[in-house]
Structure 1
Amino acid sequence: MGLPALVMSVLALWRLDRGGMWRDEAVSFQVGRRSVPQIWLLLHEVDAVHGLYYLLMHAVLAVHPGEVVLRLPSVCAAAGSAALVAALGTRLVRPRVGLWAGLLYAVTPMAGHFAQEGRSYALVAAGATAATLLFVRAVRGGSWWPYGALLALTCWLHEFAVLLLLAHAVSLALARAGARVWRGWGCAATAVVLALVPMVLVSRRQAAQVAWLREPTAQTAGGLLRTFLGPTDAVYGVCLGLALVGLLGLVGRRGEPT
């Protein structure tokens, strides 16, 4: 787990000080520099989905307001995600698979991109990966409440993280999980959804803020997959093939998540 985290850290720190912030990063910086009451008032009007992240950045930027400090939480989160991917691969298959999975994540273009961005997405990825590791542990006899608590917190970093519940449900279905597992997951999932309801109600009133976004199509979904797996045909084909091989190797292992 240490090597993937180290590789991710080196790549994320390279040219971290670019000498400028793009638009959304500038928003993170400006809002993070406001007082907590000012941030609270802002969230009543816009950007409620990023409220927890802005409060986190308020604490971080209080140490030293600057471009590099703004991005350091994303660097740390990305390194943590690489280590967690390695731990997940180790737990599902074996240590060598975990090592290569973590390294592949570390060199993924999209992971590197968000590791250097002063926004919440790298932290959301880390939370989602950690929640998935807790999900695997719960399926194998552990408690479901750490999984539910962490996933709820991740959803408050960005509400679309709730879609991870659907992915985990598909994993349970493919693994032919028993009734006990489904009951435990169902209780945790219900708690996550209930915890997210206030965010959904507030953010729904702010939907006009993202009205410029177009509905996704098969073409945009394919473009997103290519962005994540690799920019060239060779890299894309290899990474996609490895992902499919891994999925096929896990489908049907009764009682274990895929």
Structure 2
Amino acid sequence: MGVPALVMLALGLWGLDRGGMWRDEAVSFQVGRRTVPRIWLLLHDVDAVHGLYYLLLRPVLAVHPGEVALRLPSVCAAAATAGLVAALGARLARPRVGLWAGLLYAVAPMAGHYAQEGRSYSLVAAGATGATLLFVGAVRGGSWWPYGAVLALTCWLHEFAVLLLLAHAVSLALARAGARVWRGWGSAAAAVVGVLVPMVVVSRGQSAQVAWLRTPTADTAERLLRGFLGPTDAVFWVCLALALVGLAGLVGRPGEPTCAGVALPVVVVPPVVLMLVSQFSPLYVDRYVLYALSGAPLLVASGAERLAGALKGRPFAPSPAVPLTGVLAIALSLLHQFPLLQKDRDPASRPDDLGAVSRAVARNAEPGDPVLFLPASTRNAALTYPGAFRGTRDLALVAGAAESGTLYGREAGPAEVRRRLARVERVWVVADRKLLAGHWVPRDPAERAKADVLGREFIGQDEAVRGGLAVRLYVRPVSPLLAPPPPPPRPGPS
């Protein structure tokens, strides 16, 4: 367990301070610094599914608010997950299978990506993997209440972790578990679902937050599979072949779960169920099922173990050179995917870079300059990096984010927005680049009013574009009637 955890910790800490947060991390950062009553007020309106995570972040950010502190819980959770994957492999097969599986998880680019995100997904993965380890212990005669408690807590970090219950039910079916085991699991599952009901009720009322999601396709499934097994062709095809070999051990003795019998449902059931549901009501994003990644390295390691046994002439033959050979093969895959890991440390690998946006404003805006955010969610840059916007005037803001119990503050209505814009001759605009290009039209009337006035009454000039966001100066054109008269013509030669 220790070696994979240390490798994951080292890869997670490498390049942790990218010099900029993206929009989702910025929400975690600014909400995690609010008081508990103000976080509670926010959860009545939005982000109830992340409420527990924000509360956990609060003491972390109270010590030292910054990007590194924000991401440290995710790094530690990813390291714990790598260790737990190793523990699962050792318990379900043998120690070297655990070592290989844990290392495969640690070097997976997908695991590394979310280890460096200031969001809850790595914590969910750690909780889900820990619950799976407790599940195996309970099936073998242990207590079910620790399993139920850990999984319930994990579901409160993100409600889609409840799909792990379905994966574990499939594992019980593959293990041909007895009635006593089914009763114990059923009681724990009922408790988990019962604890989660209030979250489900509240989050359904906030479903507009995921209205941007689209129906997953076959390409979506292929991308996820490559994320689980390896994004590069060489690593992907080798891991896929080993995983298929690992499926040979899917069913073992009655009542005894196997490595493949636990890993396959974990890696397949939650993503497939969420993708099927999303055909009717889109809810799928790959990060929502990050916890399913833990099953893939277990399958690959199980296949490698069977292959090693076959090459020695008998299944699972011990050999001192076999563990080292597997470790060297994983190191080779790490080197092969190293450019991807390096690229992931670049802020440009995220949808936007609010740090770069704030630096552009700090370089160009003058004290007293008005600033307009289009849409209001781009105010995230000012909430996260307030120093860069110090001295500027937020043109549309009526009430701040924390005091209004919102993510981005409360803005004036469309008529008031038009009046405020009518009183300025120039305005710095922080905007979604696709919106400025006319690729989408905001639904909110106040946002449409902003875009309409800027398009009709102003001319865009200086621009600093960073990823999905643009920082652009808009000025009101000078009327010909108010323009100064042209200078008189110079006299020609006599």
Q: Could you say which TM-score interval applies, normalised by the shorter chain?
A: over 0.9
Match of 1:141 in 2: 141
Match of 2:312 in 1: none
Match of 1:36 in 2: 36
CA RMSD of aligned residues (A): 1.0
Q: Distance in 2 between matches of 1:79 and 1:253?
A: 32
Match of 1:71 in 2: 71
Q: Distance in 2 between matches of 1:6 and 1:212?
A: 37
Query: Any idea what the Cα deviations from partners look like across 1:209-250, whole Å, max 9, x if unmatched?
Result: 101101222321121111222111111112222333333313
Q: Distance in 2 between matches of 1:108 and 1:80?
A: 15
Equivalent residue letter for 2:133: L
Equivalent residue letter for 2:180: R
Q: Distance in 2 between matches of 1:125 and 1:226?
A: 18
Match of 1:173 in 2: 173
The answer for unaligned runs of 5 or more in structure 2 is 262-494
Higher relative contact order (CA 8 A, sep 6+): 1
Q: Does 1:249 align with 2:249?
A: yes
Q: Distance in 2 between matches of 1:93 and 1:108?
A: 21
Match of 1:103 in 2: 103
Normalising by structure 2, we get a TM-score of: 0.52
Match of 2:80 in 1: 80
Equivalent residue letter for 2:208: A
Match of 2:224 in 1: 224
Structure with the higher fraction of residues in helix conformation: 1
Q: Look up the SS of the partner of 1:141 in the other structure.
A: coil
Normalising by structure 1, we get a TM-score of: 0.98
Stretch moving more, 25-34 or 247-256: 247-256
Equivalent residue letter for 1:85: V
Equivalent residue letter for 2:212: W
Please tell me whether the aligned partners of residues 75 and 115 of structure 1 are also in contact (alpha carbons under 8 angstroms).
yes
* Displacement after TM superposition at 1:253 (Å): 3.3
Q: Look up the SS of the partner of 2:87 in the other structure.
A: helix
Query: Any idea what the Cα deviations from partners look like across 1:153-192, whole Å, max 9, x if unmatched?
Result: 0000000000000110111111111111111100000000
* Displacement after TM superposition at 1:7 (Å): 0.5
Q: Distance in 2 between matches of 1:187 and 1:243?
A: 32
Q: Does 1:124 align with 2:130?
A: no
Q: Distance in 1 between matches of 2:92 and 2:182?
A: 19
Equivalent residue letter for 2:124: V
Structure with the higher fraction of residues in strand conformation: 2
Please tell me whether the aligned partners of residues 229 and 235 of structure 1 are also in contact (alpha carbons under 8 angstroms).
yes
Equivalent residue letter for 2:102: G
Match of 1:115 in 2: 115
Match of 1:22 in 2: 22
Task: Report matched runs for 1:231-246 at 5 Å.
Answer: 231-246=231-246
Q: Distance in 2 between matches of 1:57 and 1:246?
A: 39
Equivalent residue letter for 2:44: H
Query: Any idea what the Cα deviations from partners look like across 1:64-117, whole Å, max 9, x if unmatched?
Result: 101000000000000000000000000000001000000000011110000011
Q: Does 1:58 align with 2:63?
A: no
* Displacement after TM superposition at 1:251 (Å): 2.1
Please tell me whether the aligned partners of residues 136 and 256 of structure 1 are also in contact (alpha carbons under 8 angstroms).
no
> Structure 1 stretches (4+) deviating beyond 6 angstroms?
none
Match of 2:13 in 1: 13
Q: Pick the structure with greater CA Rg.
A: 2
Q: Distance in 2 between matches of 1:68 and 1:85?
A: 25
* Displacement after TM superposition at 1:206 (Å): 0.4
Equivalent residue letter for 1:229: L
Please tell me whether the aligned partners of residues 9 and 78 of structure 1 are also in contact (alpha carbons under 8 angstroms).
yes
Match of 2:94 in 1: 94
Q: Distance in 2 between matches of 1:144 and 1:236?
A: 36
Task: Report matched runs for 1:163-202 at 5 Å.
Answer: 163-202=163-202
